[in-house]
Amino acid sequence: MPKSRMRHSGLAIALPPPISVPIPEPPPMSSGTASNSDGFTTEPNTPSPAQSLALLPKPQGILSFPDGDLILQSNEGDDFGVHLDVLQSVSSYFDEDGEFAKPPQSPGPDIHTRRINLSTGTLDLLLRFLYPSRHPPSIDSTERAITLMQAAADLKIECSWIDKGITSYLSSVPHPLRAWAIATRFGYKAARREAARRFFETNEDFYDDVPVELEHVSAKQFMELQRAKARAVAMARDAINKVEWGCDGCWQSWNVNLNDGRPWKSQFLRRVSELNPFAYDATSEVTFELSMVRGECGHCPKSFVSEEAKDARRILRAQLDEILRNIK
C-alpha cells in the first residue's frame, strides 16, 4: 500500500468511489483550455514544427495543472504540469534530493522542467491514476496495461488505484493464464490471485493455447501455480466426498457402508467426477436434486429438503469458497 496518497492539499480533488468492473470510460477531454469540475485543466497540445510537418496524430488534451511546481516532459515533447509532492507521496523515485527537485541555485519562477522517458499517452494515463478523479481512467488493452505497469515499476510507483485498475482490467482478459502471467511478471498480487482462481475453476489445461506472456514468468513460478491448483482441487474433492446427510430409507434398505452405498451419494459422486470441483455445476442444487431422484431410494428426495441436508450443502460450498479465498 502506498503511504499517504494525497499529501498535496492545494487541490479539491473528489476521491472516486471504488472502481467497479469494468472501469468506466474516462472523462471526455476538451481540446481547448478549460477547467473541469475535478480541478483538472486540459490544455491543447502544442505540436513541434517537426510534428506538424509529419502530421502526427495529436492527443486531444493531456492532464496538466496550471499550479504545478514541476513540468514533466514526455519523450514526444509534451509538457505535463504536476505537483512534486503528489509524485513523492507515491514513489521514492521523485525524492526531494533527486533530480526532480527544484535546483537550489535557481531563484527564478518556482517551476522547472524534467524530461521523462515515457510516451505522452503513457505519462498521461499514469498521471490520471496518480490524480484520481471521479472518473478513474480506463485501461483498454493488454499492451496499455503492460506499458502502464512497466512505467510504474521503472518509476518505483506504488499506487492502489493502479492496482485496482490493473486487477479490474486483467479480470476481463479471457485467458486466465495470460492474466496470471502478466500480473505475476509485475507483482500485482490481487490480480494474480484473481487470475489463479479462474485457472483453478477450470479443467482446461491450455496446452493447446499457451499465452506468449508465460515467457516472462519462470518455470518455477508456473510449477508452483500448478501445484497449488492440484492441492486446491484435491481439497475440494475431499470436501465433496465427505458431504453427507441422513435418509430414513437408506438406513432401512441399504445397511452398508453409507459413504459408498447411499444411492443419492453414488449418483452424486458419479455426476461430479468429471467436473471441476469449483465449477458451479458440481455442487449446485440442481446437481444434488437430480442425484436424489436418480438414486432409487424413495426417501432420498424427501431428505433433500431437510435442515440437515441444507446445512451439509451450505457447509460444502463454504469450504469450497474458503479454499479459493486462500489462494496466495
Binding site for Zn ion (CB under 5 A): 247, 249-250, 297, 299-300
Nearer to Zn ion, 80 or 245 (CB): 245
Question: Which residue type, as a one-letter code, is found at position 63?
Answer: L
Decide: 134 and 16 in contact? Cβ < 8 Å: yes
Nearer to Zn ion, 172 or 259 (CB): 259
Least spacing, CB of residue 295 vs Zn ion, in Å: 6
Nearer to Zn ion, 297 or 323 (CB): 297
* φ and ψ at residue 59, rounded to 5 degrees: -65, 150
CA–CA separation, 189 and 155 (whole Å) = 19
Decide: 169 and 141 in contact? Cβ < 8 Å: no
Give which of 147, 148, 198 is closest to 171, Cα–Cα.
198
Cis peptide bond upstream of 211, omega within 30: no
Least spacing, CB of residue 256 vs Zn ion, in Å: 12
Least spacing, CB of residue 299 vs Zn ion, in Å: 5
Least spacing, CB of residue 291 vs Zn ion, in Å: 11
CA–CA separation, 327 and 278 (whole Å) = 13
Nearer to Zn ion, 159 or 292 (CB): 292
List 112's β-bridge partners, or say none. Answer: 70
Nearer to Zn ion, 251 or 280 (CB): 251
Exposed (0-12), middle (13-18) or buried (19+): which is 15, by Cβ within 10 Å?
Answer: exposed
Nearer to Zn ion, 74 or 303 (CB): 303
Least spacing, CB of residue 284 vs Zn ion, in Å: 20
Nearer to Zn ion, 187 or 298 (CB): 298
Least spacing, CB of residue 288 vs Zn ion, in Å: 13
- State the cell numbers at 4: 499517504
CA–CA separation, 325 and 61 (whole Å) = 42
Sheet holding 34-35, edge to edge: 34-35, 41-43, 62-64
Sheet holding 70-73, edge to edge: 79-82, 70-73, 112-115
Question: Which residue type, as a one-letter code, is found at position 302?
Answer: K
Least spacing, CB of residue 254 vs Zn ion, in Å: 7
